[in-house]
Structure 1
């Protein structure tokens, strides 16, 4: 951290108009340096992103809402995992574990460096040590990224080797027995500066506020970049992840219908012997080549192998005494092997008197999954109840009577081809046109049942720039999501006759305006949108059971989400920088029986608030070589899966960073006023997920 700097030197790659190598480390000979006034650019604002177009495009020229969270913002907020960042993203709140609610829709898919392959997946939360920045593309992203929910998509940009030498070491600690350390080193390996390396490691251990829990995270990362020539660069990366969570998988704390916790938020049905363990090996290669100054290619190959083991007790409902909780025990193992290949060609040309940036690309994604588990419930399985007011632990899972459930083995394949053209129609008008073809095949390896389908996802965008500081955009984007295997295999479903359920279809219309204020020191983005999702699978009200000839599931569901978002980032004064994100959203069922659509209760959607407001403000004290930050996170009322209220909350955080000699000292306090709240709702038997009480972190680091 360099608090004393009041101007920013941005490294802009002068070559490669296609921008492929512009994101990667370059030698000093290939860099042109510009000085840009403005602290927001130094700390929180990232003016260029490839996520929305897969080409380096200025923020003002993107016809869709996008947010980029910088490394400096991540560090200021002492964000260790992705849930720490949601305050800074308009329209996004936590759903459960790594899942989010985005523009009213539940979403759990992410990308790493623009490609699929999440090493955490499911019930673990991604860690941020190895992440340089987080990009958020709002709305359907089918044209560029294939199948997914229409609310939005998160992309984690990983740290890469750099040719300039940089090293950092840090020690940190805090309450709840928090302790840890990390180190990061990068630089050139030869005088010719054709080889660069990066080595990083992160360790953290804590014993949080929930009974019987402890958390240990170990991340190791190694990278190598080779400039084979002035036109070709190869980057290799390996990550090892070991996440050991004792007393997990964590569920919620029981509440009444008004959302009040029935017992202390430290309650946990899990025993000390319970655990959730994730081990993953991730390999990634990025090849970038410049065929000519206006023709480039970027190819990413990513492979991961992970295993997630779980032993945990789950709430199954209170006995008639209102305090004895029936418990279910599960012994589970999940194994995934995932392979992803993406290649993008970017060609810049003048054709028909107009400037074109043409993208032609394709991707392939394959997942092989194995799942096995044993389960038992209550007294019949010799599993004792637990008193939610006075929990006594010590039961022995080896004495339980468990049922072995059939193993699940599945295979998923996704293939996509896409083309996009960004056209400078005039100095004030820009058009973005694109379409994608997808083919997918899902297979149950045990039953040999398989289904496949294809889809086309177009996107249209138009940008009008009445002045250098104003950009008005309108866009229409589409997406899709294949129906799950379980839905396809529902009783008496049409798949028995060979007719598989069609993918869900989503469409968004978005209108927005971006404007630079105060001589470019402050940027605002305001958008309104409407998203409709069709072909949603719902239960058939005429289905009376197996053998009645009626399908168990029909595709009569339709959901419409409408909203408004406002994002501000910039300098309010010479030493004062801030970000603000506000969102209003209403998601309603517009087709199908109310309450029949997953993640909804009646016309309301689970964990979908009407209003959210996030604020982060940083003030620098140059005379003290220090910076103070204050943050606020507000989420309005929501409901859980069983219609119980999830009460609104406001939480404040604070941070102090100071440069002392060769060291940086940082102090962060989260939940400054120790607010008791639910971060999201769940079910009546499992309650709500409690938010973290007041925590503090002290970190001492040195960069050299």
Structure 2
């Protein structure tokens, strides 16, 4: 792929110059990774987080161990210490720490300009938070973000990147902790976990944990209850192998959900109070899910590491909610004062299983260090859905000002008298890949890999199906003028099978997958013994073969013809810095610039989630700051954060206004085991929209000022 953007070429040259500037005499060497057999195959030292408190020494997102200076792609890691300092409960609390990511809706994000929601757990498929539920963080040790297409490593997926959640596992040493939480909006909760050896020889390790939280958020009629039960066993199978098992159960009850937004005018001003909610108190969104997982890790020889894993989940999401259907003028004064609504009664049942295996081989070639990664995975997901819909003509409207609730709800209707809509689908994915990382010299490293995937999608009600296969490639070249500086360039691919509903032969199908290609250039540095760590990158992503109506097609058969004539080009720049300014003062900051535009389409047509030639909820500028200072003489830590997101457009082209919000945490250590934290989000109570949607649903309002106190005990 060629780069036609002068700005991209200029930025690449600037990064190279930046690398030369950072090549300081006597700069400390970054800590190298180790292939010690006592360490898992996923361990590396990660730049881009503070050296001490927020430093992360291992990652699994690249499917193999290695120094991040040897990885020709952007990676961001958030560890448990940062999550605790920020009082993070779910993934939406963490976006501000990652350049290139902002909120879209529910668990979906805008990632380098593109909407997507793909996540992995321990590098495995199988997300139990289906559809409209947001992943919780209680049993998560760290969050890893691989930016750009990851098709060579992970198979079909979106080109912006992927999020990998690394779950907690049993520890060898005995650990125990507990927390009590209380705050505004009737928030209270508790959690606890215990981990350690279960026998004298230390060959069996165990962990159990539980989390519960109750809250009545700021939206009318809402009430949330979350329960997580997590347990795991690790069996040491000799010196060089272990079996890690885990069972996790999630139970979320959300009254007054599924939440939609609050209506705005075209300039992005809310038309009523942000507490407005189209849902009744009898509406709900309930999720129950159970996950089973096992991983066998072994190192049969000094130069070979292996992992075989299986993950299965079974989830049910039950919903009854009121969907806004547009505004009306009820009193004839020319002002749209109320929302039409329909009642939706729905259920989603989803189960999935994945099998994965990897082998890492360190085998020198001609005196040059060489690492080969070979792997494969298989994933199958069954998704069933049914729904009744009560149309807006049968449901009372709801006023924007002084809404009167209690006049609608499932109890008012004979739901079985309304048409039942059902779908049943099955998707199967499996692929095989190989990657080679060759140290050409002390300063040059080459990385290249290829993967082939097969996919099989089936409509189990009609028997219609589609299957095909495709390749995804990855290549990179790294130059290290010093051990603590890495300048790289890479090219990577991804692809996404077209939806089964679009493969109809009457519509012109079957169609080739949507493809993504990225060129990225960057620099990573670890200066002053790792006290200052930074990475910067420029990128260009092209996403092609998006389907649109074919202007030359024939619809005489009753089905509109489609054609893969859509293309989007996303260019951007990202910077992440972490610095230990003193032994007690830590600063992390990030900035992302993105320009995602439609570069090929049919006149008069627009791609999904696009407005004109721009994409919805895609800001040009985004920035985050977090700083923490420890006042050691009084055992107190003060932290402060900020988030900025520039103007965006909603799916229907309404303005989503820019915003800047601030947060703070105050942590006091009462004694060696007990601490207390005061956390305040949106410190100055800024009213803002976290993201936009469609006109009739409005924008998703950000939370007003929230505060809670957490009492922590750790043995």
**CA contact 2:289–2:313 (8 Å) conserved in 1:** yes
Question: 1:461 Cα shift?
Answer: 0.9
Q: Which residue matches 2:481?
A: 466
Whichever structure has more strand as a proportion of its residues is 1
1:55: which partner in 2?
A: 64
Q: Deviations over 1:172-211 (max 9, x none)?
A: 1100000000001100011111010000000000000000
Displacement of 1:468 = 1.8
Query: Does the Cα contact within 8 Å between 2:99 and 2:622 map onto a contact in 1?
Result: yes
Matched, 1:361 2:344: no
Contact 1:441 1:450 in 2 (8 A): yes
User: TM-score, normalising length from structure 1?
Assistant: 0.93
Partners of 2:171 and 2:491 lie apart in 1 by 38
Structure 1 residue aligned with 2:511: 501
Specify the alignment match of 1:386 in structure 2: 398
Separation of aligned partners in 1, 2:491 and 2:294: 33
Select which of 276, 284, 301 maps to 2:310.
301
Tell me the residue number matched to 2:133: 124
Contact 1:18-1:296 within 8 A present in 2 as well = no
Which one of 639, 653, 662 corresponds to residue 629 of structure 1? 639
> Cα offset for 1:596?
2.0
Does the residue aligned with 2:94 lie in a helix, a strand or coil? helix
**1:59 CA drift (Å):** 1.6
In 1, are the aligned partners of 2:51 and 2:580 still within 8 Å (CA)? no
Structure 1 counterpart of 2:282, from 273, 276, 279 = 273
1:330 to 317, 340, 344: 344
Q: Distance in 1 between matches of 2:289 and 2:630?
A: 40
Is residue 250 of structure 1 aligned with residue 259 of structure 2? yes
Q: CA deviation at 1:21?
A: 7.7
- 2:662 pairs with 1:649: no
Q: Which residue of 2 aligns with 1:683?
A: 694
Give matches, 1:449-488, under 5 Å: 449-488=464-503
Contact 1:43 1:70 in 2 (8 A): no
Structure 2: stretches of 5+ with no match in the other structure: 1-30, 331-335
Question: Secondary structure at 2:82's aligned position in 1?
Answer: helix
1:40 positional shift: 2.5
Preserved CA contact (<8 Å) 2:292 2:311? yes
Verify the 8 A CA contact 2:340 2:397 in the aligned structure 1: yes
Give the conservation status (yes or no) of the 8 Å contact 1:39–1:571.
no
Q: Is the 8 A contact 2:283 2:321 kept in 1?
A: yes
CA contact (8 A) 1:205 1:217 kept: yes
Tell me by how many angstroms 1:300 deviates: 1.2
> How big is the shift at 1:116?
0.5
The residue aligned with 1:312 is: 321
Conserved? CA contact 1:383–1:400, under 8 Å: no
Cα distance in 2 between the residues matched to 1:602 and 1:120 = 32
CA distance in 2, matches of 1:68, 1:58: 14
The alignment partner of 1:642 has SS state of: coil
Structure 1 unaligned regions, length at least 5: 1-9, 24-33
User: Are residues 1:100 and 2:125 paired?
Assistant: no
Q: Which residue of 2 aligns with 1:217?
A: 226
State which of 708, 711, 715 in structure 2 corresponds to 1:697: 708
**Equivalent-residue separation in structure 2 for 1:481 and 1:39 (angstroms):** 32
Question: Following TM superposition, by how much is the alpha carbon of 1:489 offset from its aligned partner in structure 2, in angstroms?
Answer: 3.6
Between 68-77 and 42-51, the greater mean CA deviation after superposition: 42-51
Partner of 1:206: 215
Q: Equivalent residue for 1:531?
A: 541
| Distance (Å, rounded) in 1 between the aligned partners of 2:504 and 2:606 | 18
Q: Say if 2:407 is the partner of 1:397.
A: no
User: CA 1:572 to 1:263, structure 2 compared with 1: closer, same or farther past 3 Å?
Assistant: same
Asked if 2 retains the 8 angstrom alpha-carbon contact of 1:16 and 1:22, the reply is no
Output one character per residue of 1:4-26: Cα deviation in whole Å (capped at 9) or x when no partner: xxxxxx99977329942869xxx
Alpha-carbon displacement from aligned partner over 1:579-628 (angstroms, at most 9, x marks no partner): 11100000111111365211101101000000000011111111111211
Measure the CA separation in 2 of the matches of 1:546 and 1:576: 69
Equivalent in the alignment of 1:433: 448
Distance 1:242 1:11 in 2: 42
- Partners of 2:629 and 2:174 lie apart in 1 by 29
* 1:34-87 per-position Cα deviation (integer Å, ceiling 9, x unaligned): 9x9x993222122442312x1111121110000000110000000000000000
Q: What's the Cα RMSD here?
A: 1.9
Out of 516, 520, 526, the residue aligned to residue 530 of structure 2 is 520
- Quick one: distance in 2 between partners of 1:190 and 1:242? 32
The equivalent of 2:53 in structure 1 is 43
2:69–2:524 CA contact under 8 A, matched in 1: yes
SS of residue in 2 equivalent to 1:73:
helix
Aligned residue for 1:181, secondary structure, equals strand
> Match of 2:501, SS?
helix
1:134 maps to which residue? Answer: 143
Structure 1 residues 444 and 74, CA gap change in structure 2 (3 angstroms): same
Whether the 8 Å CA contact 1:18–1:293 is kept in 2: the answer is: no
- Could you tell me how far apart the structure 2 residues matched to 1:514 and 1:505 are? 28
Show the counterpart of 1:420: 435
Distance in structure 2 (CA, Å) of the matches to 1:230 and 1:390:
68
The alpha-carbon deviation at position 552 of structure 1 amounts to 2.8
Match of 1:587 among 591, 596, 602: 596
Alignment map for 1:340-351 (pairs within 5 Å): 340-351=354-365
Where 1:75 maps in the other structure, the secondary structure is: helix
Aligned residue in 1 for 2:296: 287
Distance 1:332 1:292 in 2: 53
Residue 371 of structure 1: which of 385, 395, 401 is its match?
385
Pick one of 41, 51, 54 that aligns with 1:20: 41
Counterpart for residue 610 of structure 1: 620
